[in-house]
Chains A and B, each alone.
Chain A
Amino acid sequence: DGGITQSPKYLFRKEGQNVTLSCEQNLNHDAMYWYRQDPGQGLRLIYYSQIVNDFQKGDIAEGYSVSREKKESFPLTVTSAQKNPTAFYLCASSPARYYEQYFGPGTRLTVT
């Protein structure tokens, strides 16, 4: 079964702790993306990667970090520097530019 998996589905953390969200795809897609969605709003791009070992900042990269050591995996770390980390985080992948992006099921992060 090809697809994108994100884990965990729900994540609770205390303020000041770093947390890493997992994103894995077995679609053999080159490009991967991380978005943040706040209630009642659209998606905002955090980071994206078009090839292994390379990634670029999106519109709201501050307080986040990523790595792309393998084609299948694009983990996102939410650091303690992120001022308001509580949100729904969506990972996506696409075969290449000009192709639609396919989304994972999302991780809902709550920081208290």
Chain B
Amino acid sequence: ELKVEQNPLFLSMQEGKNYTIYCNYSTTSDRLYWYRQDPGKSLESLFVLLSNGAVKQEGRLMASLDTKARLSTLHITAAVHDLSATYFCAAEGETSGSRLTFGEGTQLTVNP
């Protein structure tokens, strides 16, 4: 059974600082996805990571995938208040069809 763990679950940081959110998964995974959720809202797709060594960047966010370590990271550079949200990673297992297994989410608060 595929399990996905994120850490930290809560992250409070100052504007301008850098930080990394980690996403570990328990079995071989074909794909890794990152989503953002604002309070009371739906999920917005951020990144799709399709292979080992994949790196994608959008603005102040950069995501990477290491399938050998079963680890994905979401790096935040020079955080701004607008990045405050909950970030989820989700993995798609090799034998799970099109099912995604989500992590618990990391609630990020960026303080001025």
Contacts and interface: CB of A to CB of B under 8 A. Distances in A.
Contact of B42 (A40, A44, A48, A104): A104
Interface string B77-107: 0000000000010101000011111111101
A42 B105 contact: yes
Nearest to A41: B104
Given A42-B104, A90-B42, A100 B33 contact: yes
Nearest to B35: A103
A96 B15 CA distance: 39
Contact of B88 (A33, A43, A50): A43
B105 A103 contact: no
Interface SS of chain B: helix, strand, loop or mixed? strand
Contacts of B104: 41-42
A97 interface: yes
B69 interface: no
A90 B35 CA distance: 14
B99 A48 contact: yes
Given A43-B43, A48-B99, A98-B31, 13 more contacts: A40-B105, A42-B103, A42-B105, A45-B100, A48-B97, A48-B98, A97-B97, A98-B30, A100-B33, A101-B45, A103-B35, A105-B42, A106-B41
Interface of B: 30-31, 33, 35, 41-45, 48, 50, 88, 90, 92, 97-105, 107
Interface of A: 31, 33, 40-45, 48, 50, 56, 58, 90, 92, 94, 96-106
